[in-house]
């Protein structure tokens, strides 16, 4: 039987009804049938899918890894690298990307081979980048090629033009870019007094993106040799961009404000005059007015020849009432308009403003007493070095050692994404937005940060902050200790310490150094929610099992401001932090200083030799590291509450400085509390006894207790029957759910009323 040739039908893409044979498909260069014919014309050969050799496939993967595929436009960079290896190749960008996907999908190379190729490309890339950065400054071409992810958000509405071979060489600036460069350099050379720059929240991206691109191109050709120059050029660029957008206002001398707008002054004068007329009319009615001029004035103004004095007096009173209501109405409309504007620009600040009490008068503390209080608190830097538990703590982590740290451009590009755009800057004035989007400065900052890290030195302007004292409890008055310090630090300093904090955090997680009981500043943790859930579980377990439980809440007095720097350095060395990082942090803390402010009034400069800054990412982590020995000591006591016979004993829970102790008996809770007291005394920290408390449960029910009497004569009182606020939630033998619901409901209704009142009028107030 003669074998018949079977024809395969392939659907044509032009129409679903038309069918064509495999031969026809091959004629049209169909990708699935590129090998069906052996004889093609040159045009047909160009449409045929190319067969790649193993070296070519390897080169494709090298080009792919070198093109940084995690960033936008990698196909274009990948094709350029391919053309460097095969200049005569006619393959297009999409075909090259298809072949890369074919290699991965069909496993042309094993995972081990791909890993080896990737490592080779990574090593070559870092060597080339380091060599280029050392020999030549960044150029405009480099800025376009190393654009990181943060500028993608800003430039997402713009498509990069294709690079033409006939274009001018890299580094050549356009006329516009050259003009911006000259303006930036002139402003930097003037070194004028810096002022707070306005935010650009309302500027459309289509206006800001091309301007930022030109500024980055201009800065890429500027020679910068120090961190001070980098900061100066960042500020100058911010000033020029703000000016180009028409948002920069010239600095004007401060004028003494009258406190009232002119329209209000005019209306109040009118009310004053009407009241004077009302008084004169009353005297005239009672025949006590003897001044003839005033009489004639009242007769003419109020038509007393044809109108009774009583009628005129009623008219004056109505005018007074109407004018007073007019002032109230105008003030309400102004408040509503400002709230509407604030809601559109910053909703978070709007909701915070609703909860602020505007009728309270802030009383400033006495200047000399306040400065003395904080100097004494911050300048004492001692701890007890002759204790056994310190030596035991040093031995626990003696095998761990962190590698020497080196800051790269990638670290800066990654960390700068976490910097908030418009939070208050320090004395250097540039907001985080500028460090985020001035990408041409990232490479220079990496090099300069590394120099500081390796030398262990740091400029004093980086470690000088502006501390604003915020009153805690208005009922306690203007006592210096009734103020909470909030420090505004230079943005560049916060970026540097943030990078160091990320590296230390990676090391702590890698070596499993952080205790499970501490949930403060911990990644992949719900923080206070985790601690509250664990605490709730313990309380419910105690009640269901009718077990005994003793609990103590410990509160430290000025915890973040009391920690000695020498103790922080000791803990860093004990857990194995690298030498260059430890030396840098030690030298950095030696130069810590801050200028105290209450409102806009300066209270003087204070050196900080004790405590941590409350304004950067590294300080909370340093506090947690300094408290690691406490968890180690408490774990070693082998005391605590057990949810079952063979379960793990829970002796304490911590969130930053908020500590709660658990003991099965009164003896255990006294031992745990005394252990914490000894540790705290050794590192020069004190209990805030007025906020410490204890409670005892026997067979799941609260019993009376005399509190905890410590050997030093201090007593922690029993907090019964009052509830204790732990991590913001009222509790005792359980969480006070009804009270929490009542508070939340009350605040929600209060906020809703204020919000509805604020949004009831959208129109701009007219000037009276």
pLDDT band at 424 (very low <50, low <70, confident <90, very high): confident
* Helices vs. strands in the chain: H and E counts, helices first: 29, 15
Supply the range of the domain harboring residue 67.
54-109
Helix (H) or strand (E) holding 214: helix 205-219
pLDDT of residue 459: 82
Report CA torsion sign: 105, 109, 112, 114.
negative
Residue 250: inside a domain: no
pLDDT of residue 680: 87
Question: CA-to-CA distance for 271 and 610, rounded, in angstroms?
Answer: 58
Clarify whether residues 514 and 632 are in a common domain. yes
Centre a 10 Å sphere on the Cβ of residue 31 and count the other Cβ atoms it contains. Answer: 11
Which residues have C-beta within 8 Å of that of residue 262, sequence separation ≥ 6?
Answer: none
Question: CA-to-CA distance for 461 and 428, rounded, in angstroms?
Answer: 8
Question: CA-to-CA distance for 555 and 545, rounded, in angstroms?
Answer: 29
Flag whether pLDDT at 70 surpasses 70.
Answer: yes
Clarify whether residues 299 and 391 are in a common domain. no
Clarify whether residues 350 and 376 are in a common domain. no
Clarify whether residues 332 and 396 are in a common domain. no
Burial of 264 by CB count in 10 Å (0-12 exposed, 13-18 middle, 19+ buried)? middle
Q: pLDDT tens digits for 641-678?
A: 998 888 889 999 999 888 999 999 888 888 888 888 88
DSSP state of 380: -
Query: To the nearest whole percent, how much of the chain has pLDDT over 70?
Result: 80
Given 76, 109, 142, which residue is the final one in a domain? 109
Number of domains forming the structure of the chain: 3
Q: pLDDT tens digits for 313-333?
A: 999 999 999 999 999 999 888
The answer to whether residues 538 and 643 touch, using CB atoms and an 8 Å cutoff, is yes
Which residues have C-beta within 8 Å of that of residue 343, sequence separation ≥ 6?
Answer: 350, 758, 759
Higher-confidence position of 426 and 149: 426
Average pLDDT over residues 227-245: 90
Centre a 10 Å sphere on the Cβ of residue 549 and count the other Cβ atoms it contains. Answer: 24
H helices of 346-366, in order, are: 347-355
Question: CA-to-CA distance for 733 and 718, rounded, in angstroms?
Answer: 13
Flag whether pLDDT at 236 surpasses 50.
Answer: yes
Write out the E strands in 383-542: 464-471, 483-488
Residue 277: inside a domain: yes
Residue 365: inside a domain: no
Average pLDDT over residues 564-574: 88
Flag whether pLDDT at 530 surpasses 80.
Answer: yes
Given 677, 697, 718, which residue is the final one in a domain? 718
Clarify whether residues 642 and 611 are in a common domain. yes
Clarify whether residues 300 and 439 are in a common domain. no
| Of 653, 652, 658, 669, nearest in space to 549 by CA | 669
pLDDT of residue 107: 76
Rg (CA), the chain: 36
Average pLDDT over residues 10-30: 40
pLDDT band at 119 (very low <50, low <70, confident <90, very high): confident
Helix (H) or strand (E) holding 695: strand 693-698
Given 354, 380, 408, which residue is the final one in a domain? 354
pLDDT band at 36 (very low <50, low <70, confident <90, very high): very low
Residue 44: inside a domain: no
Which residues have C-beta within 8 Å of that of residue 514, sequence separation ≥ 6?
Answer: 508, 522, 624, 628
pLDDT band at 760 (very low <50, low <70, confident <90, very high): low
Question: CA-to-CA distance for 588 and 463, rounded, in angstroms?
Answer: 7
**Start-to-end Cα distance in the chain:** 107
Residue 135: inside a domain: no
Clarify whether residues 536 and 446 are in a common domain. yes
Most confident of 448-452, 598-602, 759-763: 448-452
SS3 220: coil
Residue 102: inside a domain: yes
Average pLDDT over residues 77-90: 88
Most confident of 88-97, 146-155, 257-266, 394-403: 88-97
pLDDT of residue 47: 47
Joined together, the tokens standing for residue 200 give: 């650009």
Residue 713: inside a domain: yes
Which residues have C-beta within 8 Å of that of residue 47, sequence separation ≥ 6?
Answer: 28, 29, 34
pLDDT band at 607 (very low <50, low <70, confident <90, very high): confident
Q: pLDDT tens digits for 167-184?
A: 344 457 888 989 999 999
Clarify whether residues 579 and 497 are in a common domain. yes
pLDDT of residue 755: 65
pLDDT of residue 43: 45
pLDDT of residue 169: 46
pLDDT band at 225 (very low <50, low <70, confident <90, very high): confident
Question: CA-to-CA distance for 477 and 468, rounded, in angstroms?
Answer: 17
Q: pLDDT tens digits for 572-590?
A: 988 889 988 988 888 888 8
pLDDT band at 136 (very low <50, low <70, confident <90, very high): very low
Query: To the nearest whole percent, how much of the chain has pLDDT over 90?
Result: 10
Residue 689: inside a domain: yes
Clarify whether residues 459 and 597 are in a common domain. yes
pLDDT of residue 362: 54
Average pLDDT over residues 756-764: 53
Q: pLDDT tens digits for 700-728?
A: 888 887 788 877 778 888 766 667 777 77
Flag whether pLDDT at 307 surpasses 80.
Answer: yes
Average pLDDT over residues 133-137: 45
Average pLDDT over residues 262-275: 91
Clarify whether residues 344 and 415 are in a common domain. no
Average pLDDT, the chain: 78
Clarify whether residues 295 and 389 are in a common domain. no
Clarify whether residues 402 and 350 are in a common domain. no
């Amino acid at each position: 039987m003669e074998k018949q040739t079977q024809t395969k039908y392939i659907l044509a893409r032009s129409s679903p009804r038309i069918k064509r044979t495999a031969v026809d498909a091959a004629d049209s260069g169909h990708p699935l049938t590129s090998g069906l014919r052996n004889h093609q014309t040159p045009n047909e050969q160009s449409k045929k899918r190319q067969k790649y050799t193993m070296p070519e496939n390897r080169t494709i993967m090298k080009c792919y890894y070198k093109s940084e595929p995690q960033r936008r436009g990698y196909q274009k960079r990948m094709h350029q690298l391919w053309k460097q290896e095969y200049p005569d190749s006619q393959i297009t960008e999409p075909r090259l990307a298809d072949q890369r996907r074919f290699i991965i999908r069909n496993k042309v190379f094993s995972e081990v081979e791909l890993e080896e190729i990737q490592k080779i490309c990574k090593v070559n890339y870092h060597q080339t980048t380091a060599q280029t950065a050392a020999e030549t400054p960044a150029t405009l071409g480099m800025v376009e090629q190393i654009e990181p992810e943060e500028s993608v958000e800003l430039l997402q509405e713009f498509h990069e033009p294709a690079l033409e071979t006939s274009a001018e060489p890299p580094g050549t600036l356009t006329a516009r870019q050259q003009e911006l460069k000259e303006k930036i350099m002139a402003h930097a050379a003037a070194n004028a007094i810096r002022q707070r720059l306005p935010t650009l929240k309302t500027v459309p991206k289509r206006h800001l993106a091309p301007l930022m691109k030109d500024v980055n191109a201009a800065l890429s050709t500027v020679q910068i040799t120090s961190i001070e120059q980098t900061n100066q050029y960042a500020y100058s660029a911010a000033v020029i961009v703000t000016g180009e957008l028409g948002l920069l206002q010239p600095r004007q001398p401060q004028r003494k404000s009258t406190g009232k707008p002119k329209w209000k002054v005019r209306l109040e004068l009118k009310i004053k005059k009407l009241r004077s007329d009302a008084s004169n009319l009353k005297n005239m009615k009672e025949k006590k007015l003897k001044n003839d001029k005033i009489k004639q004035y009242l007769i003419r103004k109020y038509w007393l020849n044809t109108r009774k004095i009583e009628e005129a007096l009623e008219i004056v009173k109505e005018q007074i009432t109407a004018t007073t209501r007019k002032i109230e109405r105008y003030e309400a409309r102004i408040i509503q308009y400002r709230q509407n504007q604030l809601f559109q620009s910053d909703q978070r600040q709007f909701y915070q403003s609703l909860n602020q009490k505007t009728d309270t008068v802030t009383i400033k503390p006495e200047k000399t007493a306040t400065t003395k209080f904080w100097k004494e608190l911050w300048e004492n830097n001692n701890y007890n070095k002759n204790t056994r538990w310190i030596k035991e703590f040093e031995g626990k982590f003696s095998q761990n050692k962190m590698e020497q740290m080196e800051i790269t451009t990638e670290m800066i590009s990654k960390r700068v994404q976490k910097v908030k755009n418009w939070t208050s800057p320090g004395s250097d004035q540039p907001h985080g937005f500028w460090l985020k989007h001035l990408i041409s400065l990232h490479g220079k900052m990496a090099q300069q940060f590394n120099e500081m890290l390796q030398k262990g030195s740091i400029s004093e302007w980086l470690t000088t902050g502006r501390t604003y004292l915020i009153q805690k409890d208005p009922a306690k008055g203007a006592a210096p200790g009734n103020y909470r310090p909030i420090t505004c630090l230079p943005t560049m300093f916060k970026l540097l310490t943030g990078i160091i904090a990320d590296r230390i955090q990676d090391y702590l997680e890698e070596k499993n150094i952080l205790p499970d009981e501490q949930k403060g500043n911990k990644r992949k943790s719900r923080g206070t929610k985790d601690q509250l859930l664990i605490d709730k579980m313990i309380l419910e377990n105690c009640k269901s099992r009718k077990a005994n439980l003793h609990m103590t809440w410990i509160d430290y007095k000025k915890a973040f401001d009391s920690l000695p720097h020498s103790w922080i350095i000791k803990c860093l060395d004990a857990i194995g932090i690298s030498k260059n990082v430890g030396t840098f942090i030690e030298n950095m803390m030696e130069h810590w200083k801050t200028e105290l402010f209450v409102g806009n009034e300066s209270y003087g400069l204070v050196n900080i030799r004790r405590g941590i800054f409350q304004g950067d990412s590294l300080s909370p982590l340093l506090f947690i590291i300094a408290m690691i020995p406490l968890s180690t000591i408490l774990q070693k006591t082998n005391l605590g509450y057990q949810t079952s016979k063979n379960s793990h004993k829970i002796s304490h829970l911590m969130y930053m400085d908020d500590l709660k102790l658990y003991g099965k008996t009164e003896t255990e809770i006294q031992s745990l509390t005394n252990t914490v007291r000894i540790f705290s005394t050794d590192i020069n920290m004190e209990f805030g006894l007025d906020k410490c408390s204890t409670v005892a449960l026997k067979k799941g029910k609260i019993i009376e207790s005399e509190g905890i009497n410590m050997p030093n004569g201090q007593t922690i009182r029993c907090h019964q029957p009052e509830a204790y606020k732990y991590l913001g939630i009222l509790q005792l033998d359980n969480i006070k759910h009804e009270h929490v619901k009542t508070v939340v409901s009350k605040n929600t209704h209060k906020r809703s009323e204020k919000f509805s009142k604020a949004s009831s009028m959208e129109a701009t107030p007219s000037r009276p």
